[in-house]
Amino acid sequence: MTLKEDQSPRWYKSLRFRMAVMMSLAILPIGMIAVSQTRSVTEQAQQNSELALLGLTEQAAAEERIVIQRAFGLASGVGAFLPQMLENPAACSKRLAKVLENAGIFNFIGYVPISGKMTCSSTGVELDYANAPGFAEAVEAETPRIEVSIDGPNGEGSVINISQPVFEEDDLTGFVTVSVPHSILNALGDDSENEALLDLLTFNENGEILSSRNGADAAVANLPLGTNLAEFTTVAARTFSRQSVYGEDRIYAVVPIETGKIFALGVWDKDNGVSGQISKILPTSLFPALMWMISLAVALFAVHRLVSRHIRSVGAQMMRFADNRTLLTDERTREMPSELQNIQNSFLVMAHSILRDEAELEDSVRQKNVLLKEVHHRVKNNLQLISSILNMQIREAQHDDTKRILRRMQDRVLSLATIHRDLYQTSSGGLVNVGELVREIIERSVEVGTDTAKNIAVDVQVEDVMLYPDQAVPMSLLASEAATNAMKYVGASENGDNRMSVTFTRDAQDKCRFVLVNSLSNEVAPESTGMGSKLITAFAIQLGADIDVQRDHNQYQMTVSFDAATFELEPGDF
């Protein structure tokens, strides 16, 4: 993993995310309590709104209740005195007509015996209900009945027939029927007092609509979609939300008017009044969610205000210091909490200490480099002085052997001087360009060692090979000895030319390769002592090199191969 990847952590490792998780866990119990309490409050509010809506529906249906209960009461009263008058149908009819006149809001009263032949009625008309639909079931049930008749007994339009059974010594003798005109029921009540009430319907236990304040057509349109009103006759008062037949959202309230017989259905606008309160009750998780979000926002803002931005500021200062050693104090430092100010101050102290130590180290390295260059310079000068002394000795020597030995020694001293000169002139971290040294050594050896009688063709192919002094010195001395030996033994080959070639390379695997090839003649050099070969072998051992020598009657080839060493500290280097 790179440093850049380390400096760009995953989002889930950020302080904000972890703070959000910890805050969420911290307020989780409170949130659960809030959800429970909110649910309880919401349920109570829902229940209160439903009870209020049921109360309003029952209040709105009060006039329908009064009319229907008056009809039942009138039928019960008539049934009490009617048996004594049945023997005289005319008198009976007259009496019922008088009762109807006093009642005012009804348009028919009649008595139907179990035979189905009505002879006593407020109109005095005799009617036969023996084969009327539902009459046989009513006789068998012996219970009060409420039903709608499109054309009432007196032919004055649709009515609601309320039938009350009449018993004599526990035996059913017939029914007293009271007719309530729809026009009376539809005109009851004043819906302007509650604009949310769109319609009020009444229906019987069979789900038949008895009345509607807005008329029969509107009643059908306001019914809940896909619902049979008979479903609501088996339960107590209730409210529910559903779409109407026309697809409009409505709230319905069902209350009983006459227990088990007549019910009122209030159709309420979903967006107004108490019904609107029911539809607008918010989800139980909304307030806990808002509490969580607000708490989280406050916590994250506090973390940002008190911690995150200051940490980023300190981090930015550290990054700038790491990149270019600059220190810029943020103006927000005085706003930091004391703990972060301590971190900031500690960083500044550390940064100034690092700058001071680096400055001292740089000065120490500079002084060391100056001293080291001076040492190499003085060594080079001393070696050149020795070379000059040797040169004086050569000029004063009387014997050729002495001159030759001194000259060989002078060459070695000059090779060392060249190496030290390159060391104090180089700025490559202590590395020496051995390729350039080899080139200079070969050129000097050819210049010094060539006889006027010999015309030597020299081919030097060397690369820039950078080595540390531990290998540069023995490699340079090895090249000097090899060149000196080559100049000593070089001769004309069968082709008739004197030649010498030198190559020095370094491959991608840091393998260094020095190859020297020179032509040979059949003559043997009289001054051969073997000292050069011994020195070459000794220098190769210092390099850790392998030497391969191949010789025939035409040429001599020496190949030296070694690995370029890396810099290694010795115990005394630190």
pLDDT tens-digit series, residues 211-220: 787 777 777 8
Q: Quick one: pLDDT at residue 461?
A: 93
Query: Per the domain annotation, does 119 fall within a domain?
Result: yes
Confirm if 121 and 109 have CB atoms less than 8 A apart.
yes
Give the closest residue to 533 by CA, choosing from 555, 510, 511, 556.
Answer: 556
Total of domains in the chain: 3
Domain end point (choices 279, 299, 323): 279
502 and 534 co-located in one domain: yes
Query: Per the domain annotation, does 321 fall within a domain?
Result: no
Query: Per the domain annotation, does 73 fall within a domain?
Result: yes
Q: In this predicted model, which residue has the larger pLDDT, 331 or 349? A: 349
Residue 265: alpha-carbon gap to chain centroid: 52
**Residue 284 pLDDT more than 80?**
no
Q: In this predicted model, which residue has the larger pLDDT, 20 or 320? A: 320
Domain end point (choices 425, 458, 479): 425
pLDDT band at 514 (very low <50, low <70, confident <90, very high): very high
Amino acid at the residue 331 = E
Q: Which of 40-54, 197-211, 220-234 has the lowest mean pLDDT?
A: 40-54
Sequence-separated contacts (24+) of 401-410 with Cβ below 8 Å: 401/527, 404/527, 407/448, 408/484
Mean pLDDT of the chain: 79
Domain end point (choices 232, 250, 279): 279
Any bridge partners for residue 466, and if so which? 433
**Residue 481 pLDDT more than 70?**
yes
421 and 438 co-located in one domain: no
388 and 507 co-located in one domain: no
Task: Report the CATH number that the domain containing residue 482 is assigned in CATH.
Answer: 3.30.565.10
Query: Per the domain annotation, does 259 fall within a domain?
Result: yes
415 and 436 co-located in one domain: no
Distance CA 394, CA 406 (A): 6
* pLDDT tens string 79-131: 888 777 777 888 888 888 888 888 778 888 888 888 888 888 888 888 888 88
Global confidence as pTM: 0.45
Q: Quick one: pLDDT at residue 157?
A: 67
**Residue 70 pLDDT more than 70?**
yes
User: Which domain range does residue 436 map to?
Assistant: 431-568
* pLDDT tens string 185-209: 666 655 555 677 888 888 888 888 8
Question: Other C-beta atoms within 10 Å of 258: how many?
Answer: 20
- Over range 237-266, report the average pLDDT: 82
213 and 67 co-located in one domain: yes
Query: Per the domain annotation, does 397 fall within a domain?
Result: yes
Within a 13 Å sphere around the CA of 503, how many CA atoms are in the beta-carbon half?
Answer: 11
408 and 437 co-located in one domain: no
97 and 235 co-located in one domain: yes
Any bridge partners for residue 121, and if so which? 110
80 and 178 co-located in one domain: yes
416 and 362 co-located in one domain: yes
77 and 206 co-located in one domain: yes
Query: Per the domain annotation, does 530 fall within a domain?
Result: yes
